[in-house]
Structure 1
Amino acid sequence: MRILGIESSCDETGVALVDASGTATPRLLGHSLHSQIEMHQAYGGVVPELASRDHIRRVLPLTDAVLAQAGLSLKDVDAVAHTRGPGLAGALLVGSGVACALGFALGRPVLGVHHLEGHLLSPFLSADPPEFPFVALLVSGGHTQLMRVDGVGRYELLGETIDDAAGEAFDKSAKLLGLGYPGGPALARLAQEGGDEVFRFPRPLLHSGDLDFSFAGLKTAVLTQVKRLAQAHPDGPATTHLADPLSHQQRADVAASAQAAIVDVLVKKSLSAIDATGLKRLVVAGGVGANTRLREQLGAACRQRGVRVHYPELHLCTDNGAMIALAAGMRWQAGLGHAKSADQPYAFDVKPRWSLAELSGR
């Protein structure tokens, strides 16, 4: 069972092919990815219309590249999967439209995949795959959630952000410091030169007694500190960008202190989820899962508790087609495919807003 997966939910176009034959974890046969970072940098963030148009340009050449890697052709594909949601509506429609067109042309089933389920299951492609059950920390630009995962399609929401996600806190703090897009990685790099405790930023909901997150207040605290430093500069606040008067070291200290606050909350809440469930495995997935400090802090804390931590490979932390093809394969193996086929209309829809909890048991 060879499944072609297409990811187009935001600003990466990803295509991959997996072999989901038998009951073993689907095996990656090939994958290719195009990032739109360079295109969006001029605008300081993702422009949805530009993202959609670029997906149209990239998806078929990437498909050809993946098939060439695998030494196969389209006729060797047994099913086509695509990201159905959540994400940018126009971007999702590109992947969905291409997937359904290929399915119709080939007479193959088409499977719509939840983007976050792709991230959630992506560590199964790593050299150290997890085993069910486990606690999952899904942490990205738009989502911060803790889930109990008992199997494919068996998800229980333990906690989530009530406002900004952790990735948004990284990106917004980076923007306040005048860093480029994407902000999260830029802030993490700058933080390596700063002091974690120079500024004591708040750790929202750290002692709330539940597993929810909140990062909007942290962004406000970073804004207040940057303003204070700018106003203390001999020349006063800049007229172009608020952070212009700050020295490089001041920016690095703000970056390091902000990162430390975000990571502290993520680590504390993850450990609380481990305690609450009694499980001994933690999966960390999503773009922020590539953050070095988060990996170091979580790894050290979990080792002390005898908890195994699993991550996707670094190149699979970002959005990619491999996680979509994998999730489709694992759902197919579990009898949860719900595919469109030649017996049904190939009409497609997308779900820009789609809770992962809705998949449980489906």
Structure 2
Amino acid sequence: MLILGIESSCDETGIALYDTEKGLVGHKLYSQIAVHADYGGVVPELASRDHVRKTIPLISELLTECDLTKQDIEGIAFTAGPGLVGALMVGACIGRSMAYGLGIPAVEVHHMEGHLLAPMLEDERPEFPFIALLVSGGHTQLVEVQGIGQYKILGESIDDAAGEAFDKTAKLLGLDYPDGPMLAKLAEHGTPGVFKFPRPMTDRPGLDFSFSGLKTAAAVAIRGAGIHLSGSKSDATELPENIDQLKADIAHAFQQAVVDTIAIKCRRAVEQTGIKTLVIAGGVSANTELREKLAQLMAKQRGNVFYPRHEFCTDNGAMIAFAGAQRILSQGDQNLKVKAKPRWSIEELPKL
């Protein structure tokens, strides 16, 4: 069964074709980085308009490249949430309308379920049950996964998610958009031990995350180093001569604090559940330091860790096509109602 996947939850338009027998047929991704760069972050209205412009042309391009036509599509999966409501509505309306016109089934896909199942696109797949660490721009969650649709949230961010903290701290350092990846790149040049930041909520039991205080600690360090919070100019008369190195040192310390905090919580989740398989997914899962730290952790736990390939860590259509294929095979078609769900708990999904 050939499934078309449409991802439009935020600032990337992802299109993919997934065959339930042959696997991933092809995928395309259009990033809106250039659209939002001048604003230092995603502008929802601009994101929605760009999805309108790009979604159908991308579908046509992918079909042509794969030597297929719309009539070959046997089902459509689209992201219904969580995400930006306008952006979600674009993908939902296009997906549902195409399915109705072609007379084929269409299903809503939960964006985070797409991320959670992204490692299933690889040749070496995790087996159920496993612990999933979902780390994207707006989410940091630890989820116990017994099967598709069988999700129990063990812990989640109570304020800023890890990705948000990366982005906000990068802005404080005056880095360009996309903020988080720029901070991670800068951290590679930092000197360990120059700055020391807290590992939030690790001194108490539980699996919830909080990165707002860590961001504040970074802001205090940035101010103390004489770096203006809003960009390249300084509140002081002159910028420090070693400003670039100071920024790198702060970035390194901040990233290490986030990575250590996540690793501590993951270890607790593994020990609490007894599940020795860890899946890392979402945009932040591409972070090299995080991958290395969690690989070391699971080696000590005598367990296994799985990641999607880098191109499927960030938002993409392939993960939506795969997740949608599982639900179409199990549930069949859904009604014609088009509904975007900007807030949608993964625990609400029906199990397969």
Give the Cα separation in 2 of the matches to 1:294 and 1:241. Answer: 32
> 1:65: Cα distance to partner?
2.0
- Superposition pairs of residues 311-330 of structure 1, within 5 angstroms: 311-330=307-326
2:343 matches 1:358? no
> 1:128: Cα distance to partner?
2.1
Partner of 1:257: 253
Give the Cα separation in 1 of the matches to 2:192 and 2:118. Answer: 31
Residues 33 and 321, structure 1, Cα contact 8 Å, conserved in 2: yes
> 1:331: Cα distance to partner?
2.3
> 1:100: Cα distance to partner?
1.0
**What TM-score results when the alignment is normalised by the length of structure 1?**
0.92
Partner of 1:9: 9
> 1:30: Cα distance to partner?
0.8
Partner of 1:66: 62
Matched to 2:220, the amino acid is T
Matched to 1:291, the amino acid is N
SS at 2:24 equivalent: strand
> 1:239: Cα distance to partner?
9.0
Give the Cα separation in 2 of the matches to 1:268 and 1:94. Answer: 39
Distance 1:253 1:239, change over 3 A: closer
> 1:324: Cα distance to partner?
0.4
SS at 1:217 equivalent: helix
Matched to 1:356, the amino acid is I
Give the Cα separation in 2 of the matches to 1:101 and 1:258. Answer: 45
Partner of 1:123: 119
| Runs of 4+ residues over 6 Å off in structure 1 | none
Residues 130 and 276, structure 2, Cα contact 8 Å, conserved in 1: yes
Matched to 2:44, the amino acid is P
Deviations 1:32-55 (A, max 9, x none): 000001111100000001000000
Residues 129 and 275, structure 2, Cα contact 8 Å, conserved in 1: yes
- Superposition pairs of residues 288-307 of structure 1, within 5 angstroms: 288-307=284-303
Partner of 2:82: 86
Partner of 1:348: 338
- Superposition pairs of residues 142-181 of structure 1, within 5 angstroms: 142-181=138-177
Give the Cα separation in 2 of the matches to 1:239 and 1:91. Answer: 32
Partner of 2:91: 95
Distance 1:242 1:50, change over 3 A: farther
SS at 1:348 equivalent: coil
- Higher mean C-alpha deviation, range 255-264 or range 322-331: 322-331
Deviations 1:185-225 (A, max 9, x none): 00000000002321111111112210000000001001111
- Higher mean C-alpha deviation, range 346-355 or range 156-165: 346-355
Partner of 1:214: 210
SS at 1:180 equivalent: coil
Partner of 1:192: 188
Deviations 1:246-287 (A, max 9, x none): 511000000000000000011110111111110111000000
Distance 1:259 1:19, change over 3 A: same
Distance 1:207 1:102, change over 3 A: same
Residues 134 and 148, structure 1, Cα contact 8 Å, conserved in 2: yes
Give the Cα separation in 1 of the matches to 2:139 and 2:274. Answer: 24
**What TM-score results when the alignment is normalised by the length of structure 2?**
0.95
> 1:361: Cα distance to partner?
3.0
Distance 1:241 1:111, change over 3 A: farther
2:235 matches 1:245? no
Give the Cα separation in 2 of the matches to 1:44 and 1:336. Answer: 41
> 1:240: Cα distance to partner?
4.3
Residues 156 and 360, structure 1, Cα contact 8 Å, conserved in 2: no
Partner of 1:227: 223
SS at 2:30 equivalent: strand
SS at 1:351 equivalent: coil
Give the Cα separation in 2 of the matches to 1:158 and 1:241. Answer: 42
Aligned CA RMSD, in angstroms, stands at 1.8
Matched to 1:353, the amino acid is R
Give the Cα separation in 2 of the matches to 1:227 and 1:359. Answer: 45
| Structure 2 unmatched ranges of 5 or more | none
